[in-house]
Amino acid sequence: MEEQGYIEIKFESLIGNTPIKPNDLDIAEIKEIISDVETFLYPSRGEKAERPHISYNIEEGSVRNLFYLPISGVLLFNGLAGEINNRGNIDFLDSKRALIIDKFQRKANEKNLEISFYSSSDIKPILKINRETKFFKIAATQIETEFILYGKVNEEGGNNPNFHLLTKEYGKLVISATEQQLLEGEKRLFKIYGVKAKGKQNLADGKPFDLKLIDYITYNPNYNEHKLDLLIERASVKWNTIPNVDVWLNEIRG
């Protein structure tokens, strides 16, 4: 049997002039802490399914949240917490782990907490989170993806071959292409075309940019608009029941 150890998440603060104690935490807060620590150690669905047995206890000394687990889990915790402390940021963490530390940072700011990470391998704290630290997850401002776009081909050519596509949704988009892509097939200038392109999308306004042509799509306007609107309406009702789409998608992906 593997050697056992423990990790500790310690909360320190004052209520008036009195240090907080375990009875000051609601069961919902305790449940959230347990879930967050599990996700920090084992972020994916597969890792959670195969994780070792972990037991929990809450003790006095402000609020000591103790998790007992095999030493391999303790070493993983030490490595992650130590690297956060050394770097002074959480940019290197995967999304789920970064969100957990971001949550602890926000909790520390909101409740004036000092949150210390300890383990059985060292009596000194490995990491401290308080109002002075800045362990926030930097939100992405753009994503790389593929697009299907429709519009009128307005201009072609240039020293760096490209064409301009006038779209209803985004206005004018500049799409780079090779000379061969621009010359092959029929003349497309001033015609309505669909294009498949790869590029980046601004998460603030959704507009695509840095686009590169993959292929042209022959524009076919013949579809049942009423049926399309009905499908969009039905999908929107289901979509709106999801409280946090990003979290839901991450859970689906594992």
**Domain boundaries, given as residue ranges, for the chain:** 4-129, 142-217
Q: What is the average pLDDT across 89-94?
A: 92
Confidence of residue 213 (pLDDT cuts 50, 70, 90): very high
**Are 131 and 13 in contact, with CB atoms under 8 Å apart?**
no
Q: What is the average pLDDT across 193-199?
A: 92
**Are 4 and 71 in contact, with CB atoms under 8 Å apart?**
yes
DSSP letter, residue 43: -
pLDDT of residue 237: 62
pLDDT of residue 217: 87
Phi/psi zone of residue 124: left (φ > 0), alpha (ψ -120 to 50 degrees), beta? Answer: beta
Here the tokens at position 64 are 């000591």
Share of residues in the chain with pLDDT > 90 (%) = 65
**Which residues are within 8 A (CB) of 1 and not within 5 positions of it... i.e. 6 or more apart?**
none
pLDDT of residue 158: 73
Fold topology of 142-217: OB fold (Dihydrolipoamide Acetyltransferase, E2P) (2.40.50)
Asked if pLDDT for residue 79 goes beyond 80, the answer is yes
Determine the Cα–Cα distance for residues 197 and 150; give it in Å rounded to an integer. 11
Q: What b-and-e string marks burial along 36-55, b requiring 16 or more CB atoms within 10 Å of the CB?
A: bbbbbbbbeeeeeeeeeebe
Here the tokens at position 244 are 């946090």
Confidence of residue 202 (pLDDT cuts 50, 70, 90): confident
Burial class (CB in 10 A: 0-12, 13-18, 19+), 165: buried
Q: What is the average pLDDT across 173-181?
A: 92
Dihedral, 79, 85, 90, 92 alpha carbons, nearest 10: -50
Q: Return mean pLDDT, the chain.
A: 88
Residues 53-71 have pLDDT tens digits of 999 999 999 999 999 999 9
Determine the Cα–Cα distance for residues 82 and 79; give it in Å rounded to an integer. 5
CA-closest candidate to residue 206, choices 244, 248, 170, 155: 170
Q: What are phi and psi of 253, to 5 degrees?
A: -75, -20
Determine the Cα–Cα distance for residues 37 and 100; give it in Å rounded to an integer. 8
Determine the Cα–Cα distance for residues 8 and 19; give it in Å rounded to an integer. 18
Asked if pLDDT for residue 244 goes beyond 70, the answer is no
pLDDT of residue 235: 67
| 242 against 149, higher pLDDT | 149
pLDDT of residue 10: 97
pLDDT of residue 155: 87
Confidence of residue 254 (pLDDT cuts 50, 70, 90): low
| 91 against 66, higher pLDDT | 66
Residues 119-158 have pLDDT tens digits of 999 889 999 999 999 999 887 778 889 999 999 998 887 7
Specify the amino acid at residue 154: N
Determine the Cα–Cα distance for residues 122 and 78; give it in Å rounded to an integer. 9
Asked if pLDDT for residue 251 goes beyond 80, the answer is no
